[in-house]
Structure 1
Amino acid sequence: MPLPSYSRGKDSSAPLLRWDEVPDDFVECFILSGYRKLHCTAQECLASIFQPTNETLNFWTHFIPLVVCLSKFYQLFFLATDLPFHHPFLLPLWCYASGVVLTFAMSCTAHVFSCHSLRLRTAFFYLDYASISYYGFGSTVAYYYYLLPQLTLLDSSAMTPYLRGLGWHVDYALLLGLYSAFVLPVAFVLAVTCTFACCKSRTGDCSYPFAIRTFVFVMPLSMACPVMIESLLFDLNRKNPTLVLYFYRRYFWLLVAAFFNVSKIPERIHPGLFDIVGHSHQLFHIFTFLSIYDQMHYVEDGLDQFLKSPPTSPTFSGTLGFMMLLIFCLGIVVRNFLSRSNLCKEE
């Protein structure tokens, strides 16, 4: 009896496979062809990014944004200000930049080497989820230092009279103190929880994995609620039109990206037609990049405002220290799920 077509082979020029010729874990909904063989060597995996497979544009739709973002961050750290790149005022930007770069780089790696082995595929996608959570927390750190201090909503001297005019007699300074003390720890816990949920969604007993992953990726976005509330209560568009434009356009791109990620359109409508070019995961990548690119604009604007009159100096423990602790915790989550994975028998 001939071996299944996804068993180990030496022919690097083997034709691409159909969905029924690869392990179930490789099959993507409504993608019928264009699959690479299992157990490709590292060289074969790298060569495949220049061949028309169903993973090729998944790689390029994150590699090109990675190059664009690296260029942008180089400009911000070394050309845009007179500060040395290691200045404390730039620590939140390092947190944010490391999250953006790591997310794109990890996704590129996962899509390229996912056909090396089942276990490595699983490991890379767990790490991909962890990197997205890391990026989400890095964004919150940048918001906390660069954007939130500009908001009237977080100014006790402005909000206390405003609330009293509405008949609310609350200790707003106390509420702000609690918010400032807990916003980063809550975002930290949320990042770890989201990674756990996404890794759990790849187990066999999960009924709606794409919906769950989309939901938990959206959860950290709630940390930007103060900006949204500010725009509703006060004339934020007059005060900071750059923030309003890019902030809401970013969320529009995210909604579009979530739609494609959950709906599996257009391949759901015409299975097989979009196997190589135009399927939902590629569109998801494109609109995710657009959202991050808009976010970079208003983070840069927030940095400019912060440098004009810094309300406080970021500390190492409150920025990169948090990020290093998060890496440790996310590593524990990923290692825990990898130890549960029983993939050796499948290989």
Structure 2
Amino acid sequence: MQTTAPRRGVENSSPGAAPRRDQAPPPPPSAPLLRWDEVPDDFVECFILSGYRRLHCSAQECLASVLQPTNETLNFWTHFIPLLLFLSKFCRLFFLSGAGELPFHHPLLLPLWCYASGVLLTFAMSCTAHVFSCLSLRLRAAFFYLDYASISYYGFASTVAYSYYLLPGLRLLDARAMSRYLQQRLGWQLDCSLPIALYSALVLPVAFVLAVTCTVACCKSRSEWCAYPFAIRTFVFAMPLSMACPIMLESFLFDLRGQNPTLFLYFYRRYFWLLVAAFFNISKIPERIQPELFDIIGHSHQLFHIFTFLSIYDQMYYLEEGLLQFLKSPPASPTFLGTIGYMLLLMLCLGMVIRKFLNVADLCKQD
């Protein structure tokens, strides 16, 4: 009598039989999310009670978690989507004649390359830190140190772009216009050439030192002795914004609104978004008011991400306008050392800062 051969996968279907090698093992169930008292102290965010991933997740589990309802999911997406938007915007500027007819490697676009690297690195590093923060305690610290460094890098890159595309067009930094203003308003006979030249020479070195100092302060804010880490980080992140003070002074002393309405509108709207972002980052509203309700969707860090994105979007708009004005009659041609060279040196210094903090003994013991 002819017998039929058993079908693949059926012969070992008895409850006690071992699975065949050619059978794929069943997918592991997704790890349950944890509460704040089930994770290390370094994982716990203020007023966020649930939605935590376990420590020592694999890289695959970390990547899969961006599609799961954890308290980090929207932290990732609120910066990953802006990353894609800015990437497309910079590709248009560099490669699709968005910056006039200049090729992407033209020296006049070097400050824009610096700015683009700062924006993209900030969003990319933030996404990386939020996704892979549960690999280990040491890697968590490393990723967030890199996140802080990327923000300082972005702040300095913005100053580089400002110094070429925006500041030379201000009457505040025009010695003749400023001397005339002081004579008409105050009756002072002053030659402003020297202080303006001094400011122009020091703006990038001062911004460089400020970027390194801010990174050190933010890394220190992760230590246990820091009582108000979010307030310190918010203040430190705001420090590089002081390099844009000439634009603010221009609006007070001269008719910036009439002379350059685009810069006036988007500059002040950017700072409004930054104030709103700082409010959420420091106050921890709304989760402070209703703990656990906003653990997955709507907590303050997600709102902080959204409003910082809006601020950079507005900054990008008026920088692009400044670039187009700069290209019509560039007052000075950017140099490689004065742009890319500065950025490479800053990366080296920030890397040394991060390495120093990662070598702290008590941090190594936690892992």
Partner residue of 1:6? none
The equivalences for 1:85-96 within 5 A come to 85-96=104-115
Pick one of 279, 303, 320 that aligns with 1:300: 320
Q: Which residue of 1 aligns with 2:217?
A: 197
Per-residue deviation at 1:158?
1.3
1:20 shift after superposition: 0.3
Taking the aligned partners of 1:171 and 1:338, their CA distance within structure 2 comes to 50
1:126 matched residue in structure 2: 145
* Per-residue Cα deviation, 1:239-286 (whole angstroms, up to 9, x for no partner): 111101110000000000000000000000000000000000000000
Q: Pick the aligned partner of 1:240 from 239, 260, 270.
A: 260
Deviations 1:84-127 (A, max 9, x none): 10100000000000000000000000000000100000000000
Instruction: Tell me the distance in 1 between the aligned counterparts of 2:303 and 2:191.
Output: 47
On the 8 A contact 2:175/2:191 being kept in 1, the answer is no
Counterpart amino acid of residue 195 in structure 2 = L
What does 1:16-95 align with in structure 2 at a 5 Å threshold? 16-79=33-96, 80=98, 81-95=100-114
1:182 aligns with 2:202: yes
Secondary structure in structure 2 of the residue aligned to 1:37: coil
Structure 1 pair 341/167, CA: closer, same or farther in 2 (3 Å)? farther
Structure 2 residue 162 is matched with structure 1 residue 139: no
Match of 2:299 among 279, 285, 289: 279
Alignment of 1:151-230 (within 5 A): 151-165=170-184, 166-230=186-250
State how far apart, in whole Å, the 1-side matches of 2:189 and 2:60 are: 67
Identity within the alignment, %:
78
Deviation at residue 346 of structure 1 after TM alignment: 3.0
TM-score, L = length of structure 1: 0.96
For residues 298 and 248 of structure 2, the distance between their equivalents in structure 1, rounded to whole angstroms, comes to 33
SS for the counterpart of 1:85 is: coil
Q: List gaps (5 residues or longer) in structure 1.
A: 1-9
Greater Cα radius of gyration, structure 1 or 2: 2
1:108 aligned to 93, 104, 127, which one?
127
Task: Output the CA distance in 1 between the equivalents of 2:241 and 2:75.
Answer: 24
Give 1:5's aligned residue. none
C-alpha distance in 2 between matches for 1:63 and 1:341: 34
SS in 1 for 2:134: coil
Count of residue pairs the alignment pairs up:
338
Aligned counterpart, 2:14: none
Write the letter of the residue equivalent to 1:35.
Answer: Y
Q: In structure 2, what is the Cα distance between the partners aligned to 1:240 and 1:12? A: 58
Further displaced range: 152-161 or 134-143: 152-161
How far 1:238 sits from its partner (Å)? 1.1
The CA deviation string for residues 160-215 of structure 1, in whole angstroms up to 9 with x for no partner, is 12212212233300011100110000000000000000000001111111110000
Deviation of residue 12 (structure 1)? 5.6
State the shift of 1:11 in Å: 5.9
| CA positional deviation for 1:344 | 4.2
Q: Is the 8 A contact 1:12 1:44 kept in 2?
A: no
- For 1:91, give the aligned amino acid: L
Cα 1:260–1:246 change in 2 (3 A) is same
Please give the alpha-carbon distance, in whole angstroms, between the structure 1 residues aligned to 2:115 and 2:59: 31
Amino acid at match of 1:308: K
* CA-CA distance at 1:231 after TM superposition: 0.6
Q: Which runs of 5+ in 2 are unaligned?
A: 1-26
Q: Which amino acid counterpart does residue 277 of structure 2 have in structure 1? A: A
Q: Distance in 2 between matches of 1:229 and 1:107?
A: 32
Instruction: For 1:123, give the aligned amino acid.
Output: A
Report the Cα distance in structure 2 between the residues aligned to 1:197 and 1:12, rounded to whole angstroms.
Answer: 41
Is the 8 Å Cα contact of residues 138 and 366 (structure 2) preserved in structure 1?
A: no
Report the RMSD for the aligned CA atoms in angstroms: 1.1
Deviation of 1:157 (Å)? 1.4
Q: Which amino acid aligns with 2:274?
A: L
Moved more, 152-161 or 177-186: 152-161
